[in-house]
Amino acid sequence: MGELKTRTVPNPEFEDLTDLLERARTMAVVVAGLLERPAGLMSQDRVWTGPTAAEAFALELDGRRADLPQRFEAFIDAVTVRRAAVPPSFDVPVSEL
Protein backbone atom coordinates (compact mmCIF):
# COMPACT_ATOMS: atom_id res chain seq x y z
CA MET A 1 0.00 0.00 0.00
CA GLY A 2 1.39 3.40 -0.97
CA GLU A 3 1.56 6.70 0.75
CA LEU A 4 -1.76 8.53 1.10
CA LYS A 5 -1.95 11.39 -1.36
CA THR A 6 -3.33 14.69 -0.17
CA ARG A 7 -3.90 18.14 -1.52
CA THR A 8 -4.09 21.43 0.31
CA VAL A 9 -7.40 23.28 0.16
CA PRO A 10 -8.44 26.65 1.56
CA ASN A 11 -10.27 26.57 4.86
CA PRO A 12 -13.74 28.06 4.28
CA GLU A 13 -14.02 29.20 7.91
CA PHE A 14 -10.76 31.14 7.59
CA GLU A 15 -11.98 32.71 4.35
CA ASP A 16 -15.32 33.67 5.94
CA LEU A 17 -13.56 35.19 8.95
CA THR A 18 -11.26 37.15 6.64
CA ASP A 19 -14.25 38.52 4.74
CA LEU A 20 -16.04 39.35 7.98
CA LEU A 21 -12.98 41.16 9.28
CA GLU A 22 -12.73 43.28 6.12
CA ARG A 23 -16.44 44.17 6.25
CA ALA A 24 -16.28 44.98 9.97
CA ARG A 25 -13.28 47.27 9.50
CA THR A 26 -15.03 49.08 6.65
CA MET A 27 -18.25 49.41 8.63
CA ALA A 28 -16.39 50.66 11.70
CA VAL A 29 -15.15 53.66 9.73
CA VAL A 30 -18.64 54.39 8.42
CA VAL A 31 -20.34 53.93 11.77
CA ALA A 32 -17.80 56.11 13.55
CA GLY A 33 -19.00 59.07 11.49
CA LEU A 34 -22.73 58.36 11.50
CA LEU A 35 -23.54 60.25 14.68
CA GLU A 36 -21.29 63.24 13.97
CA ARG A 37 -23.91 65.21 12.04
CA PRO A 38 -26.74 64.72 14.56
CA ALA A 39 -24.36 65.57 17.42
CA GLY A 40 -23.20 68.68 15.60
CA LEU A 41 -26.77 69.78 14.99
CA MET A 42 -27.63 69.21 18.65
CA SER A 43 -24.66 71.24 19.84
CA GLN A 44 -25.63 74.12 17.55
CA ASP A 45 -29.25 74.11 18.80
CA ARG A 46 -30.40 73.36 15.25
CA VAL A 47 -32.65 70.49 16.33
CA TRP A 48 -35.93 71.15 18.04
CA THR A 49 -36.34 69.49 21.38
CA GLY A 50 -38.08 70.44 24.55
CA PRO A 51 -35.98 72.27 27.14
CA THR A 52 -35.51 69.24 29.40
CA ALA A 53 -35.17 66.68 26.64
CA ALA A 54 -32.34 68.46 24.82
CA GLU A 55 -29.71 67.89 27.50
CA ALA A 56 -30.70 64.27 28.09
CA PHE A 57 -30.74 63.55 24.36
CA ALA A 58 -27.36 65.23 23.85
CA LEU A 59 -25.85 63.16 26.66
CA GLU A 60 -27.29 59.96 25.21
CA LEU A 61 -26.02 60.84 21.75
CA ASP A 62 -22.53 61.61 23.05
CA GLY A 63 -22.51 58.32 24.95
CA ARG A 64 -23.44 56.38 21.84
CA ARG A 65 -20.83 58.25 19.77
CA ALA A 66 -18.19 57.09 22.24
CA ASP A 67 -19.60 53.57 22.64
CA LEU A 68 -20.08 52.51 19.01
CA PRO A 69 -16.41 52.63 17.98
CA GLN A 70 -15.46 50.73 21.14
CA ARG A 71 -18.01 48.02 20.38
CA PHE A 72 -16.76 47.68 16.82
CA GLU A 73 -13.18 47.47 18.05
CA ALA A 74 -14.14 44.71 20.50
CA PHE A 75 -15.93 42.82 17.72
CA ILE A 76 -12.96 43.20 15.36
CA ASP A 77 -10.63 42.01 18.12
CA ALA A 78 -12.80 38.93 18.76
CA VAL A 79 -12.91 38.03 15.04
CA THR A 80 -9.14 38.56 14.79
CA VAL A 81 -8.52 36.20 17.72
CA ARG A 82 -10.80 33.55 16.24
CA ARG A 83 -9.20 33.90 12.80
CA ALA A 84 -5.74 33.47 14.34
CA ALA A 85 -6.89 30.14 15.81
CA VAL A 86 -8.14 28.79 12.48
CA PRO A 87 -5.71 27.36 9.92
CA PRO A 88 -5.89 29.10 6.53
CA SER A 89 -5.80 25.76 4.73
CA PHE A 90 -5.70 22.03 5.38
CA ASP A 91 -4.82 18.81 3.63
CA VAL A 92 -7.51 16.47 2.38
CA PRO A 93 -7.00 12.97 1.03
CA VAL A 94 -7.11 12.54 -2.71
CA SER A 95 -8.37 9.26 -4.06
CA GLU A 96 -7.01 7.83 -7.26
CA LEU A 97 -9.58 6.76 -9.81
pLDDT in tens, 26-63: 999 888 888 888 777 777 766 666 667 777 777 888 88
- pTM for the whole thing? 0.75
d(CA 69, CA 15): 25
pLDDT of 8 > 80? The answer is yes
* pLDDT tens column, 59-94: 888 888 889 889 999 999 999 999 999 999 999 998
pLDDT of 20 > 70? The answer is yes
Long-range contact pairs involving 11-14 (C-beta distance under 8 Å, separation at least 24): 11/86, 11/87, 11/88, 11/89, 11/90, 13/86, 14/83, 14/86, 14/87, 14/88, 14/89
